[in-house]
Amino acid sequence: MGDQINPLQPGEPAPAFALPAVDANRIVSLVDLRGRPFLLGLFRGLHCPFCRRQLRQLSGLQPALRAAGVETLAVINTSLERARLYFRYQPTPVVLLSDPDCLTHRAFGVPRVQFLPEASTEPPQWPERATMAQFQEARINPAGELAEPTQPMEANFVLNAKDGFELDETDQAIFAEHATQLVGHFLVDAGGIVRWAKIEARDGPNGIGTFPTPEEIIAAASELE
């Protein structure tokens, strides 16, 4: 079913990355960030309403994070052209980077769920491998916006409809290729060492769409001082 992916832990060095910025014709790399701490969010594509909401939350945290000397970057799993089109109408102070192949997610060890074949005798081991039944039985309502806890795919549909968000061809292609990619948040210090990390749904599919709160993020950033 694929290789085991282990998320980076506090105390480990952040891996090298170099990604195109959405807001300008430039590449942002780990080398560029040396000497200053940063918060890195590794998200699914724009089709994910939970990711869009978390990005808005990070936008609101910018004054507090900047006061703590922390820069915020968000890696979006979509093409540069699609990201530029979307964020032209949804601007954010967060530094946005495009990664249509989830290469940075892999480098940081953020898991991608793989579904076992129906006849498989291999035991499930969330989040690396799961049964479709395990996923279908999940119920989520991370922000309390839904009328009741709802199956994750149905929750996506309901929230996208609420937002008036329609997937275009790029979104559909990203969804088809990377729908089961989980989300990761990493706080990296000025020396390039991971000091704090949170991985979505580590304990099971009922945690899909649940991300760190503003209080958790600010508390982690304050410990860098």
Could you tell me the residue ranges of all domains in the chain?
18-222
Query: Can you give the pLDDT at residue 5?
Result: 67
Residue 1: band (very low, low, confident or very high) from pLDDT cuts 50, 70, 90: very low
Question: Is 50 exceeded by the pLDDT of residue 19?
Answer: yes
Non-local CB neighbours of 6 within 8 Å, separated by 6+ positions: 109
What percent of the chain has pLDDT above 70?
A: 97
170-196 pLDDT, tens digit per residue, is 999 999 999 999 999 999 999 999 999
3-class secondary structure, 88: helix
100-113 pLDDT, tens digit per residue, is 999 999 999 999 99
What percent of the chain has pLDDT above 90?
A: 94
Query: Can you give the pLDDT at residue 119?
Result: 86
| Alpha-carbon radius of gyration of the chain | 17
Question: Is 70 exceeded by the pLDDT of residue 96?
Answer: yes
Query: Can you give the pLDDT at residue 17?
Result: 97
Which helix (DSSP H) or strand (DSSP E) does residue 20 occupy?
strand 18-20
Question: Is 90 exceeded by the pLDDT of residue 220?
Answer: yes
* Residue showing tokens 């074949």: 117
My answer on whether omega of the bond before 127 falls inside 30° of 0, hence cis, is: yes
Question: What is the pLDDT averaged over residues 162-176?
Answer: 98
Question: Is 80 exceeded by the pLDDT of residue 46?
Answer: yes
Tell me how far apart the alpha carbons of residues 21 and 95 are, in angstroms, rounded to a whole number. Answer: 7
CB 105 within 8 A of CB 75: yes
* Residue showing tokens 């291999």: 122
Averaged pLDDT of the chain: 95
Question: What is the pLDDT averaged over residues 19-42?
Answer: 96
CB 100 within 8 A of CB 84: no
In CATH, 18-222 is 3.30.1370.100 = no
The better pLDDT of the pair 168, 1 is held by 168
Residue 3: band (very low, low, confident or very high) from pLDDT cuts 50, 70, 90: very low
What's this model's pTM, rounded to 2 decimal places? 0.95
Residue 2: band (very low, low, confident or very high) from pLDDT cuts 50, 70, 90: very low
